Each structure stands twice: as C-alpha cells, then as structure tokens.
C-alpha cells in the first residue's frame, strides 16, 4: 500500500487569514491556497510516512466523523491526497524528493 | 542625456526634439546628473530610416540592443519611451518586489491602489495626486522585500480615452501632455506627476492601506472590508516578479497584508472617491514608522 509522506514539511512557510491557509513551497517556488483538510493531512505527514487507511482513521478521529459518513470521508481524503501529490506537496515514495534538499 | 526616474538612472540617446520637449514638460527641468554613476538602463529612441518611413514616419525603441516593441508612429515617441521604460523596469529591477499598483502617500503612509486596466485606477491616482497626496508611482509599487518600504518612482500618469476629459474637467489647472490618438491602448495622454512628487523622489514610505478601486457609475462610493486572504492572492498574482522572488516575495506580500488595512472601493465619482480616501487616511493617521 502506498505510504505518503511530506519531505519538505519543515521548509513550508504558512500563513492564515480568516480561515484561509496560504502555503509557500520553496521546493517548487509556488504559493498554494489550502483548506483545513489539506492542512491537516500535511500536518499528519510531517512525521512518519502513513498509508491512506491510517490517514483516514486519524483524521476521522480528529474530525469526529461517525461511522455512517466514513465512506464519503475516505473518498474526500483520497481526492485530497491526489491533489496534494499533484501539487508536489506530498510524495508517494515513487520519487524521493528528499533529494531536493541535498 | 542622463535621466533620473526615482532610483533608476537612464542614459537616453534620442535625436527627436519632440520627445525631449515632452520630457521637459512632463518631468520638469532636471538638474544635470553626475556622469560618473552606474546607469541602470541604456535606451535609444530614434526615427526609423528608409523610403517607406518618409510617408509614415516611425519611432523605434532600443534598449541594450533589444527591440522589444514594433515601431510606433513618430508622434507617439513619448508614449513609446514611457512604455519602454516600464519594460526595462519590469524586466530588470528585481531588487524589488514589483507590485502592479498605483502608490500615493499621505501623513507619511502609503496607499496602494492595485487594479487591472479599466478599473479607473490611473484616473483616481491622478485625482489624488492633485488633491494633497504625494504620488510615488502610477504603475509600480517598488517594494523593498527586506524592509517593507516602498521607493518612489514619480513619473507622468498615463490616462486613456474618456478618462482624459474626465480628469481635465476635475483638475483644469493640471499639466497634461498632448493626446496620442489611436495607440494600442487607445487615446493616451500623460499627466504631470506634481512638483512635490518629483522633488521628494528619495523619500520612501511604508504601506498602510491597500484599496482595490473599481469605477462603477451605478455604485455608491463607499469602502468595503476586503478579506486579507483574497488581498494576498490579488497582490501576489499581479506582481511583475513574484515567482522570481521566491520565499522573499511571499514574506514581503505577507508583511504588506499584515500591516495594512485592506479595502474594496467602488466609486462613481472622483470627488467622492478622493473624499473617502482622505477620511481613511485622516482617521487612521498616526506616527509613521
């Protein structure tokens, strides 16, 4: 199973205004406007790599998601993971962008 | 000739008397510059040669062996020079984060008016410059990323199409250059930036207000709160060199957003808009840092 991680997490520069989160990624030079879920995923991936099931379980606890809504919640998380990967903010390990830090 | 515009020194080589005449009219007489200075931009504006150009005389703009524009009609040489100077600044002045914004100062604090073409930004900027605000720039906010200060670059304000007559009616005593008809941006005329603006070109100031103006004849002229996040996106998205600045640019825009109040100003009338911005400046006036 894919294990997600966020190798550049410590180098991100973040700001928040009125519940809108802005993140500057020095790896790409791009600025991103993120929602709370995207930010929570990044925070989870600041430490050890996690797979999707682990992310879903941890976020469901934080967000207090009931059993009946778990399936839809998992779908949203998968969607966010895909988008964060596309933006270059997280990695699925196929390309180890920690090399960018060298 | 050496020609100073704010922090930039230009060596202008042009045999066109009309261009020099308009430079004197719209920038005023200047003290001669010391020849032993580093020059930022080397610019040539000259009449294109050849038989074809006897019938339709054209002016050419060259900087550092680069010809970034097609020739303009000869009578538009001043407008060509102004756009060419904008080009030089936008392409080279990366010691600054360059925001696309008009910039004026009152009580030692800076008002930023970032807006796209058609919003009435330049007309409002010219109006403010003739009602007690000091013009720093109509086009570029030259933001020093490390200190957060904005350097002045006082230059003539280009007005387009109907706004030329609107401004002349607003301020009949202003020095306005000739109308250049049928340029790529329509009819264009330049407004003198004001003697005080030219005299105080060394005086940087700190931003205090970010106001996004929008001319709308049906609007009630009033300031509306503008969300800081959206202001960040608009400011950074309209900067000339934000991607090039990297993290420094992000932090510089962040600082502007944190330190300024942010507003949206629909306006239907110049007098009302000026009075509204005067109140904003007067109500929040305090010691400038």
What would the pLDDT profile of B5-21 be if each residue is shown by its tens digit? 999 999 999 999 999 99
Distance CA A3, CA A85 (A): 12
**A13 forms bridges with which residues in the sheet?**
A24
Residue A46's φ and ψ, nearest 5 degrees, are -70, -30
Same domain, B16 and B82: yes
- What value of ipTM does the predicted structure carry? 0.83
Same domain, B75 and B126: no
Residue pairs between chains A and B whose CB atoms are closer than 8 Å: 31
Strand B186-191: give its sheet, edge to edge.
B157-160, B186-191, B180-183
Task: Using the predicted structure, report yes or no on whether residue B286 has a pLDDT greater than 90.
Answer: no
Any B CB within 8 A of A10 CB: no
Task: Give the best residue of B247, B256, B258 to mutate against chain A (max A CB count within 10 A).
Answer: B247
CA dist., res. A87 & res. B1, Å (int) = 50
Domain shared by B261 and B204, yes or no: yes
Per-residue pLDDT at B183: 87
Residue of B nearest to A22 (CA): B229
Interface contact flag, A18 B250, Cβ < 8 Å: no
Please name the member of B229, B243, B251 whose beta carbon is closest to the beta carbon of A17.
B229
The pLDDT value recorded for residue A1 is 78
What is the extent of the structural domain holding B52?
A: 1-92
The rounded mean pLDDT for chain B is 94
Q: What are the C-alpha distances in Å from B278 to residues A19, B109, B152?
A: 31, 12, 20
B53 in the same domain as B108? no
pLDDT of residue B27: 94
B79 shares its domain with B104: no
In a shared domain, residues B6 and B22: yes
* Average pLDDT along chain A, 102 residues, taken 10 residues at a time: 91 90 93 94 94 95 90 95 95 62 42
CA-to-CA dists, residue B257 to A15, A70, B102, B166, B271, angstroms: 11, 38, 16, 32, 27
pLDDT average, residue stretch B205-216: 97
From the CA of A24, how many Å to the nearest CA of chain B?
7
Q: Which residues contact B170 (CB under 8 A, 6 or more apart)?
A: B127, B130, B270, B271
A8 is written with which tokens?
């550049």
Q: Answer for the pair A82, A37: CB distance below 8 angstroms, yes or no.
A: no
Q: How far apart are the first and last CA of chain B?
A: 37
Which tokens belong to B214? 């929008």
- Whether B76 contacts B183, CB under 8 Å: yes
Confidence of residue B277 (pLDDT cuts 50, 70, 90): very high
Chain A residues inside the 8 Å CB shell of B232: 15, 17, 22
Question: Does one domain contain both B195 and B273?
Answer: yes
Structure tokens at B45: 């504006």
CATH topology of domain A3-101: Arc Repressor Mutant, subunit A (1.10.10)
Closest residue of B to A30, CA-based? Answer: B243
Q: Which of B45, B60, B92 is the last residue of a domain?
A: B92
CB contact under 8 A, B246 and A26: yes
Pick left, alpha or beta for residue B65 (phi over 0 → left; psi -120 to 50 → alpha; otherwise beta): left
The whole-angstrom distance between A29's CA and the closest CA on chain B is 5
Q: How confident is the model at residue B288 (pLDDT cuts 50, 70, 90)?
A: low
pLDDT of residue A102: 38
> Lowest-confidence range among A18-22, A44-48, B194-198, B245-249?
A18-22
Q: Say which of A17, A24, A33 has its CB closest to residue B257.
A: A17
Q: Which of A14, A16, A17, A34 to mutate to test the interface with B (most CBs of B within 10 A)?
A: A17
Q: Distance from A32 to chain B by nearest Cα, in Å?
A: 10
CB contact under 8 A, A17 and B247: no
Interface of B with A (CB under 8 A): 227-230, 232-233, 236, 243, 246-247, 250-251, 254, 257
The percent of residues in chain B predicted with pLDDT above 90, rounded, is: 85
Q: Contact B216/B50 with Cβ under 8 angstroms?
A: no
| Shared-domain flag, residues B192 and B287 | yes
User: Is A31 in Cβ contact with B247 (below 8 Å)?
Assistant: no
The CATH number of the domain where B118 resides is what? 3.40.50
User: Across the interface, do A15 and B233 touch by the CB < 8 Å criterion?
Assistant: no
Beta strands at B58-63 and B41-47: parallel, antiparallel or unpaired: antiparallel
Residue B55: predicted pLDDT = 75
Place of tokens 């609107």: B166
CA distance B100 to chain A (A): 18
Portion 17-36 of A in contact with B at CB < 8 A: 17-18, 20, 22, 24, 26, 29-31, 33
Q: What is the pLDDT of residues B75-118, one digit of tens each?
A: 999 999 999 999 999 999 999 999 999 999 999 999 999 998 88
Asked if the model's pLDDT at residue B63 lies above 70, the reply is yes
Residue A101: the pLDDT is: 46
Q: Are strands B150-151 and B180-183 parallel, antiparallel or unpaired?
A: unpaired
Pairwise CA distance, residues B218 & B204, whole Å? 36
Contact by Cβ (8 Å): B68, B61: yes
Which residue, of B73, B92, B111, is where some domain finishes? Answer: B92
User: In this structure, what are the phi and psi dihedrals at residue B109, rounded to the nearest 5 degrees?
Assistant: -125, 155
Rounded to whole angstroms, how far apart are CA atoms B166 and B171?
A: 9
State residue B263's pLDDT score. 97
Domain limit, last residue, from B77, B92, B107: B92
Overall domain count for chain B: 2
Q: Do A26 and B236 touch (CB under 8 A)?
A: no
User: Who among B227, B232, B247 is closest to A22 (CB)?
Assistant: B232
């Amino acid at each position: 199973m894919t294990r997600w991680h966020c190798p550049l997490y410590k180098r991100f520069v973040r700001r928040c205004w009125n519940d809108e989160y802005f993140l500057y990624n020095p790896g790409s030079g791009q600025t991103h406007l993120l929602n709370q879920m995207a930010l929570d995923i990044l925070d989870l991936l600041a430490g050890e790599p996690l797979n999707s099931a682990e992310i879903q379980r941890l976020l469901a606890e934080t967000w207090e998601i009931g059993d009946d809504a778990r399936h839809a919640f998992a779908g949203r998380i998968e969607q966010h993971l895909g988008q964060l990967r596309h933006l270059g903010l997280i990695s699925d390990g196929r390309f180890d962008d920690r090399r960018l830090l060298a | 000739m050496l020609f100073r515009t704010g922090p930039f020194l230009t060596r202008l080589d042009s045999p066109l008397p009309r261009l020099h005449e308009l430079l004197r009219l719209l920038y005023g007489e200047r003290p001669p510059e010391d020849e032993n200075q580093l020059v930022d931009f080397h610019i040539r504006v000259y009449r294109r040669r050849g038989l074809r150009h006897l019938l339709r005389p054209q002016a050419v703009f060259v900087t550092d062996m680069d010809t970034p524009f097609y020739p303009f009609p000869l009578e538009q040489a001043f407008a060509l020079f102004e756009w060419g100077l904008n080009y030089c600044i936008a392409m080279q002045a990366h010691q600054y984060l360059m925001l696309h914004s008009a910039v004026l100062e009152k009580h030692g604090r800076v008002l930023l008016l970032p807006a796209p073409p058609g919003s009435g930004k330049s007309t409002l900027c010219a109006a403010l410059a003739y009602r007690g605000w000091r013009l720093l720039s109509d086009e570029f906010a030259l933001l020093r990323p490390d200190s957060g200060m904005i350097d002045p670059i006082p230059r003539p304000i280009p007005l387009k199409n109907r706004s030329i007559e609107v401004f002349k009616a607003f301020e009949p005593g202003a020095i306005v250059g000739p109308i250049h008809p049928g340029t790529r941006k329509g009819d264009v005329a330049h407004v003198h930036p004001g003697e005080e603006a030219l005299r105080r070109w060394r005086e940087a100031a700190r931003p205090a207000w970010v106001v996004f103006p929008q001319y709308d004849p049906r609007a009630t002229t009033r300031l509306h709160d503008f969300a800081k996040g959206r202001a960040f996106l608009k400011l950074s998205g309209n900067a000339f060199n934000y991607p090039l600045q990297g993290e420094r640019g992000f932090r510089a825009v962040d600082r502007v957003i944190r330190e300024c109040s942010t507003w949206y100003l629909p306006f239907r009338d110049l007098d009302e808009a000026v009075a509204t911005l005067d109140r904003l400046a007067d109500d929040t006036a305090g010691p400038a840092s």
